[in-house]
Amino acid sequence: MKKHSFKDWVIATRPWSFPASAMPVMVTIAWVAANGFEVNWWFGLWALINIIFVHAAGNVWSDIADYRKGVDAADTFGVRALVDGQFTVAEYRRLSLTLNVIAILGGIGLVLLTGWTLLWIGLAGIALSLLYPRLKFMALGDVVIICCYALLPMTGTSFIVSGAIRWEVLWLALPVGLITVAILHANNVRDIETDNRAGINTFPMMTGRPFGARLYAFEVLFPFVWLVALMAFGLEPWWLLTALLALPVALKNARTMLAYKQGGKASYANLDEKTAQLQLMFSLLLIIGFVLSILL
């Protein structure tokens, strides 16, 4: 059996995608603090680490399903570890199990310290993470993503750090969640032909690549419109205009996708990673905006 370094195991979890889970937690903590609620920072850090473990476990579990289904193959983009024989399915299964156990134990600890309300949010998140491969193959992946990486973590984090669910934070779940969904959507638009060969069904397969490209552009651009509307109606501070600094990156990504015919598939092959970087930038700028609203 091939011996793997710690770095190999980390790369197997697809760490470039972690902003999708980490940023909703961090944005929520910043929002709670900016709105004058008392924040338990240690619980917030715990929640941040725990959701990354949940995300990592879900990534590995999903990669096993994609490999077995033939979604990841020698001629496809994306994850190569199983396809190229760097890891075995058994090794991936053990990795996913280990990460899930750590996440579950961490979640139980948070439940005991904060309250049973968190249990139901956590159970929903873990269940959707485990069911994600099957639901993704039924064109429901987008729904799972916005639940797991926007609605559930933002309500759950508000409860963890402040002692109550702050439903108002969900105004920000739409812009944060849409950009996260765009990560998956970029992947699915790229892989329409190979996904069809594998016998699965994704939303872009149902709508076609032209509509899929336009929908991606909407997913990365509408969050900025929504954010300005929230500020205009007084629901969020004007300091969140800092997030508009990410707009040029969103426009560049949108143009790349919309020009898929001219550039060919290779031109947007790594757009999922670039969208994850956009998510990181957008969310960090939101956090900076909240910090400025507190300090100034």
Domains and CATH numbers, the chain: 19-295 (1.10.600)
Averaged confidence pLDDT in the chain: 90
The 10s digit of each residue's pLDDT in 144-181 is 999 999 999 999 999 999 999 999 999 999 999 999 99
What is the predicted pLDDT for the residue at 266? 74
Cα separation, 1 vs 13, whole angstroms: 20
For residue 177, the Cα-to-chain-centroid distance in whole angstroms is: 8
User: Do residues 61 and 103 touch, judged by C-beta distance below 8 A?
Assistant: no
From residue 163, give the alpha-carbon distance in Å to each of 59, 159, 287.
30, 5, 21
Q: With CA atoms as reference, report the closest residue to 209 among 187, 177, 233.
A: 187
Q: With CA atoms as reference, report the closest residue to 55 among 138, 153, 141, 151.
A: 153
* Residue 292: partners with Cβ closer than 8 Å, 6 or more residues away: 239, 242
Pick the range with the lowest mean pLDDT from 101-115, 230-244, 266-280: 266-280
What is the predicted pLDDT for the residue at 251? 97
In the numeric block, which tokens belong to residue 51? 């959701």
Q: With CA atoms as reference, report the closest residue to 292 among 236, 251, 253, 252.
A: 236
What is the predicted pLDDT for the residue at 73? 66
Cα separation, 275 vs 277, whole angstroms: 5
Bridge partner list, 138: 201
What is the predicted pLDDT for the residue at 74? 64
DSSP secondary structure string for all residues of 152-216: HHHHHHHHHHHSS--GGGGGGHHHHHHHHHHHHHHHHHHTHHHHHHTT-B-HHHHH-HHHHHHHH
Exposed, middle or buried: residue 65 (CB in 10 Å: 0-12, 13-18, 19+)?
Answer: middle
The 10s digit of each residue's pLDDT in 2-52 is 688 888 889 889 998 898 999 999 999 999 999 999 999 999 999 999 999
Can you count the helices (H) and strands (E) in the chain? 14, 0
Q: How confident is the model at residue 78 (pLDDT cuts 50, 70, 90)?
A: low
In the numeric block, which tokens belong to residue 13? 């979890």
What is Dmax (Cα atoms) for the chain?
Answer: 60
What is the predicted pLDDT for the residue at 239? 96
The 10s digit of each residue's pLDDT in 57-76 is 989 988 888 888 777 666 66
